[in-house]
A and B are shown apart, each in its own frame.
Chain A
Amino acid sequence: MELTLWTYEGPPHIGAMRVVTSMRDLHYVLHAPQGDTYADLLFTMIERQDQRPPVTYTTFQARDLGGDTAGLVKQTVAAAYARFRPQMLLVGESCTAELLQDQAGTLAASMNIGIPVVPLELPAYSKKENWGAAETFYQVVRAALAGRLAEAAPERESRNTGGRRPRANLLGPTVLGLRCRDDVTEITRLLSRLGVDVNVVAPLGATPADLARLPDADFNIDLYPEIARTTCAWLERSFGQPYTRTVPMGVGATRGFMREVAVLAGLDQDEVLAGELSGASSTAASASRLPWYSRSVDSTYLTGKRVFIFGDATHAIAAARVARDELGFEVVGLGSYSREFGRELRAAAALYGVDALITDDYLAVEAAIAEAAPELVLGTQMERHIAKRLGIACAVISTPIHVQDVPARYSPVYGFEGANVIFDSWVHPLVMGLEEHLLQMFREDFEFNDKAVPSHLGKSVGHAAPAQDIDVAMEAAGEESAATLPRWAPETELELRKIPFFVRGKARRNTERFARERGLATITVETLYDAKAHFGR
């Protein structure tokens, strides 16, 4: 049993719903009690879907439990097929139905309704949403390709030429993913410029019949490994299709992705990357404005901004690279709730000299953020709330998301336009360069201080928490009893207040450590500056 206040991921059947709702001509019968239909609103409200998810629930009640819940499954399957006439039917259970052991999937498969029926077994008490999405996508692809498994992989390699343009599948985009719709458009355009055609995009927008065409591509693009890695690996084993490993988020990664695509598609790498002048300063050195914007003098103030990153593994790892290499930030925390990608995350964290935070405990993330005292948090919907409470700027880089993270405008995060979007959306929440200096110079100004939100965001936006909150939170994060600490002289406390709030916690801890190591009983103003000189910025 584990206590959860907020969850980063729903149960695995929500992942299945994301896959099914992304596709067309596919239907999902879910053996679940009444109440579980709440899941529909995730799609119709957060993503503003104009249709209900293609899911029919058995919605059993207590009075059904003594009777024939298995009969209810069969009845529901028959009614759903009659009404929706899908090409393929998925049948599975939510957490409660799993306990009833009606074997809904097997039961439905035995009904011989005339279309492929895929039983979905998603262990609700040990797995979560992204795993459920990955498993569902894999099962649907397998079912759709059942008839083509006879095509041996080696034979396929021989027909991978013949004058036509190379073809790739884009795998992994789903509804309720981060900006998937726009990422698909962006990457499709990018590939088209390179001379690569998109064969099938899936799950988003695909039918089961489209999935049967997956092997017609030369290689796969694993856009969202949390969702598509299992399927990509299986397609490689079964049909000899290699797949990309680079997630094209940020300028460097997009260039790396293009290089990888060139290799898989048999194109000339130099030709593919023509126009992308790594290291060049001119405004024309990239298809993205990010390299020039980041080099422009206005961005100097971004240097060394402390950033804490948490999200799904794919976006968190990619964001860390962009943050350090393309914006000049300092990564002070990197974490993910994607335990399945713990190895990748730990490897990435090592690059930035931080410990990987792999957890789905919201309170642990909050404590880690308070402890790291960042100036910017890149996270999920949850970190937006943590940051708001601590009075820290925040941008959302990963699911779970809320309705404001599904913008009306074209707003990818992948590819060159995605890099532009990233520059804007990560820099916008920050206090701008000269404003920051003035804040530090005149700290007692009643309307222009570190408790106020950045002036370009206006009073109504941001709702920055009073800055003392972060002091309190950070002191709490220290978890050392006051008795063992050196005492702060009152005038030193006042001096400490003049330090910007986002580094105040760190300054406090460093000073205390400095004083303790030297056996000082009282921290004077001089101790504060001695410690500052000792530790640097």
Chain B
Amino acid sequence: MSAVATAVPVPSVRPVLRERGQREVFCGLTSIVWLHRKLQDAFFLVVGSRTCAHLVQSAAGVMIFAEPRFGTAILTDRDLAGIADANAELDRLCRDLLTRRPDIKALFLVGSCPSEVIKLDLANAAERLNREFYPGVRVLSYSGSGIETTFTQGEDNALRALVPLLPQDDAQQLLVVGCLADVVEDQFRRTFDALGISQVHFLPARRARELPPVGSGTRVLAAQPFVGETVRALTARGATLLEAPYPLGVEGTTAWFAAAARAFGISTETFLACIEPRAVRARQSLDRYRSLLAGKRLFFMPDSQLEIPLARFLGEELAMETIEAGTPFLDQQMMACELSRLPDSVRISEGQDVESQLDRVRSAAPDIVVCGLGLANPLEAEGITTKWSIELVFSPIHGFEQAADLAELFARPLVRRTRLAL
């Protein structure tokens, strides 16, 4: 990926363990599982193989929706025989889909490993389909393929695909980037309002067709650490990135709001009056988890790119000790504020060689390992307590009101161990 190369160089002496081997991570298609719920007018059409379809339904772990707003255009032998046929087939399939689902106002064509290997041009397909369906339906494209993206990078690519469509507006405004739970988004909006920052937009909005403006007066605040490409596309359109840690935990959330307050010239007095009561309440609710979690040793397997901010929160506010924070991909620019708050004792690893990483887990004997679903039960069977990392992207964990919920996610597996008399 070009991300590291294009990032603003950040002076960093922290050594990073870079590994290449078997990676036990999801591909970017997985982020469709929450994106399709967030964007209520959008349909995500993966153009790929039966594996892609199987992945998305298995990763979701649930199939509660009779007719979901995502699907897979499965390539068959015939499509592989000729690209022209594949394009015609894709058009036919999209036409059928959009006729059957008039509620769909935005269609994302999502590239996969096979569609990229056969060089099926989805950007071109989107343009072709827009000529037919726009303005009724906006057709977009991005890559969620495993050869290009891991897990949450799929969301980054989906949001980046929206950036060229955003209307230009150079007025002063705040743009919060990254998919948040609706409840968190509402809380943030109220807090910004109380701070006196009234021009606030979110990307994504709840509908793909509701596009926030962007321009030279736009200050971007990233709510998720994995939206680097989107942020860089926004800055290319004149926006300024506000450097801040992520709104995880009380301190992270305070610093995150502080970055916005500084940029919008909010007085210290106003800031404290607004933020302090929220922070105090959140600290109180965190207190009950501190005795449970303090001193506990953590090991993060690479997964969602939330690992480094989480290690920072759990260390700063709950006195947990992270042995290793693995990340599938280290975006130095997006992590700069987080890395500077992390003690040197935390080993950062990028990429993965799962077998040797598991060897490190076993020799470090941590109290809790944060890992994907494929690894959790095998580790539990070895006597190692685990926390499913996917829960961290499927639950509201951001902001003051969720700080204790986030701590509870780590406490629960440990408490469970002590409760069971087995």
Min CB–CB distance B394 → chain A (angstroms): 14
Q: Which of A11, A35, A37, A389 contacts B50 (CB 8 A)?
A: A11
Q: Is B377 an interface residue (CB 8 A)?
A: yes
Binary per-residue interface labels of chain A (341-370) against chain B in the complex, 1 for a CB within 8 Å, 0 otherwise? 000000000000000000000010010000
Instruction: Let me know if A59 and B51 touch, CB within 8 A.
Output: no
Instruction: Let me know if A10 and B50 touch, CB within 8 A.
Output: yes
Instruction: Let me know if B63 and A381 touch, CB within 8 A.
Output: yes
Min CB–CB distance A310 → chain B (angstroms): 15
Task: Look across to chain B and name the residue whose beta carbon is closest to the beta carbon of A386.
Answer: B66
Instruction: Let me know if B114 and A34 touch, CB within 8 A.
Output: no
- List chain B residues, Cβ under 8 A from A35: 25-30, 55, 113, 145-146, 150
| Given A125-B75, A125-B76, A125-B80, A44:B375 Cβ within 8 A | yes
Q: Is A65 an interface residue (CB 8 A)?
A: yes
Q: Is A42 an interface residue (CB 8 A)?
A: yes
Q: A382–B54 Cα gap in the complex (Å)? A: 13
Instruction: Let me know if A50 and B71 touch, CB within 8 A.
Output: no
Instruction: Let me know if B49 and A4 touch, CB within 8 A.
Output: no
- List chain A residues, Cβ under 8 A from B45: 3
Task: Look across to chain B and name the residue whose beta carbon is closest to the beta carbon of A100.
Answer: B117
Instruction: Let me know if B54 and A1 touch, CB within 8 A.
Output: no
- List chain A residues, Cβ under 8 A from B80: 99, 125
Task: Look across to chain A and name the residue whose beta carbon is closest to the beta carbon of B76.
Answer: A125
- List chain B residues, Cβ under 8 A from A50: 377-378, 380-381
Q: Is A409 an interface residue (CB 8 A)?
A: no
Q: Is A518 an interface residue (CB 8 A)?
A: no
Q: 8 Å CB contacts to A: which residues of B23-37? A: 23-30
| Given A4-B72, A45-B377, A96-B147, A36:B51 Cβ within 8 A | yes
- List chain A residues, Cβ under 8 A from B381: 50-51
Q: 8 Å CB contacts to A: which residues of B364-385? A: 372-378, 380-381
Q: Is B270 an interface residue (CB 8 A)?
A: no
A contacts with B, residue count (CB < 8 A): 58
Instruction: Let me know if B377 and A94 touch, CB within 8 A.
Output: no
Instruction: Let me know if A99 and B117 touch, CB within 8 A.
Output: yes
Q: Is B79 an interface residue (CB 8 A)?
A: yes
- List chain A residues, Cβ under 8 A from B63: 6, 381-382, 385, 402
Instruction: Let me know if B59 and A1 touch, CB within 8 A.
Output: no
- List chain B residues, Cβ under 8 A from A402: 63
Q: Is A297 an interface residue (CB 8 A)?
A: no
- List chain B residues, Cβ under 8 A from A48: 377
Q: A39–B29 Cα gap in the complex (Å)? A: 14
Instruction: Let me know if A1 and B53 touch, CB within 8 A.
Output: no
Q: Is A126 an interface residue (CB 8 A)?
A: yes
- List chain A residues, Cβ under 8 A from B378: 44, 49-52
Q: 8 Å CB contacts to B: which residues of A383-425? A: 385-386, 389, 402
Q: A369–B117 Cα gap in the complex (Å)? A: 39
Instruction: Let me know if A33 and B59 touch, CB within 8 A.
Output: no
Q: Is A2 an interface residue (CB 8 A)?
A: yes
| Surface stretch bound by A, among B88-96, B195-203, B245-253 | B88-96
| Given A37-B25, A94-B51, A95-B51, A6:B76 Cβ within 8 A | no
Q: A112–B377 Cα gap in the complex (Å)? A: 35
| Number of residue pairs A-B, CB distance < 8 angstroms | 191
Instruction: Let me know if A1 and B24 touch, CB within 8 A.
Output: no
Q: Is A38 an interface residue (CB 8 A)?
A: yes
- List chain A residues, Cβ under 8 A from B121: none
- List chain A residues, Cβ under 8 A from B147: 33-34, 60-62, 65, 96
| Given A11-B49, A94-B51, A34:B73 Cβ within 8 A | no
- List chain B residues, Cβ under 8 A from A41: 58-59, 61, 372-374
Q: Which of A11, A33, A42 contacts B27 (CB 8 A)?
A: A33
Q: Is A27 an interface residue (CB 8 A)?
A: no
Q: A6–B77 Cα gap in the complex (Å)? A: 20
- List chain B residues, Cβ under 8 A from A99: 80, 114, 117-118
| Given A35-B29, A94-B51, A3:B93 Cβ within 8 A | yes
Q: Which of B76, B118, B150, B376 contacts A126 (CB 8 A)?
A: B76
Instruction: Let me know if A95 and B49 touch, CB within 8 A.
Output: yes
Q: Is B166 an interface residue (CB 8 A)?
A: no
- List chain A residues, Cβ under 8 A from B23: 34, 37, 59
Q: A402–B58 Cα gap in the complex (Å)? A: 10
Q: Is B355 an interface residue (CB 8 A)?
A: yes
Q: Is A40 an interface residue (CB 8 A)?
A: yes
Most buried by A among B66, B77, B97: B66
Min CB–CB distance A53 → chain B (angstroms): 8
Min CB–CB distance A528 → chain B (angstroms): 30
Q: 8 Å CB contacts to A: which residues of B173-198? A: none
Q: Is A124 an interface residue (CB 8 A)?
A: yes
Q: A95–B90 Cα gap in the complex (Å)? A: 19
- List chain A residues, Cβ under 8 A from B421: none
Instruction: Let me know if B27 and A3 touch, CB within 8 A.
Output: no
- List chain B residues, Cβ under 8 A from A385: 63-66
Task: Look across to chain A and name the residue whose beta carbon is closest to the beta carbon of B115.
Answer: A96
- List chain A residues, Cβ under 8 A from B51: 10-11, 13-14, 36, 94-96, 124
Q: Is B68 an interface residue (CB 8 A)?
A: yes
Min CB–CB distance A78 → chain B (angstroms): 13
Instruction: Let me know if B96 and A3 touch, CB within 8 A.
Output: yes
Q: A381–B29 Cα gap in the complex (Å)? A: 22
Q: Which of A36, A126, A382 contacts B146 (CB 8 A)?
A: A36
Min CB–CB distance B5 → chain A (angstroms): 12
Min CB–CB distance A95 → chain B (angstroms): 4
Instruction: Let me know if B49 and A125 touch, CB within 8 A.
Output: yes
Task: Look across to chain A and name the residue whose beta carbon is closest to the beta carbon of B96.
Answer: A3
Q: A37–B55 Cα gap in the complex (Å)? A: 9
Q: Is B350 an interface residue (CB 8 A)?
A: no
Min CB–CB distance B371 → chain A (angstroms): 11
Instruction: Let me know if A34 and B150 touch, CB within 8 A.
Output: yes
Q: Is A56 an interface residue (CB 8 A)?
A: yes
Q: Which of B54, B61, B77, B377 contacts A14 (CB 8 A)?
A: B54
- List chain B residues, Cβ under 8 A from A6: 53, 57, 63, 68
Q: Is B22 an interface residue (CB 8 A)?
A: yes
Q: A3–B50 Cα gap in the complex (Å)? A: 10
Instruction: Let me know if B374 and A38 touch, CB within 8 A.
Output: yes
- List chain B residues, Cβ under 8 A from A39: 58, 374
| Given A34-B150, A52-B375, A95-B113, A3:B73 Cβ within 8 A | yes
Q: A254–B136 Cα gap in the complex (Å)? A: 59
| Given A11-B50, A36-B51, A95-B51, A2:B76 Cβ within 8 A | yes
Binary per-residue interface labels of chain A (61-97) against chain B in the complex, 1 for a CB within 8 Å, 0 otherwise? 1100100000000001001000100000000001110
Q: Is A185 an interface residue (CB 8 A)?
A: no
Q: Is A434 an interface residue (CB 8 A)?
A: no
Q: A444–B248 Cα gap in the complex (Å)? A: 52
Q: 8 Å CB contacts to A: which residues of B82-132? A: 86, 89-90, 92-93, 96-97, 113-114, 116-118
Q: Is A224 an interface residue (CB 8 A)?
A: no
Q: Which of A4, A125, A128 contacts B77 (CB 8 A)?
A: A125
Most buried by B among A52, A62, A96: A96
Q: Which of B48, B72, B148, B380 contacts A62 (CB 8 A)?
A: B148
Instruction: Let me know if B113 and A96 touch, CB within 8 A.
Output: yes
Q: A50–B376 Cα gap in the complex (Å)? A: 9
Q: Is B414 an interface residue (CB 8 A)?
A: no
Can you identify 12 A-B contacts, CB atoms within 8 angstroms? Answer: A1-B90, A3-B74, A5-B70, A7-B53, A33-B146, A57-B22, A62-B145, A76-B22, A83-B355, A99-B118, A126-B77, A386-B66
Q: What are the 6 closest A-B residue pairs judged by CB atoms, nearest first?
A: A35-B27, A35-B146, A40-B374, A50-B381, A95-B49, A96-B113
Enumerate chain B interface residues (CB-CB to A < 8 A): 21-30, 45, 48-51, 53-55, 57-59, 61, 63-68, 70-77, 79-80, 86, 89-90, 92-93, 96-97, 113-114, 116-118, 145-148, 150, 355, 372-378, 380-381
Given contacts A100-B117, A385-B66, 4 further A-B contacts (CB under 8 A): A1-B74, A37-B23, A37-B24, A49-B377
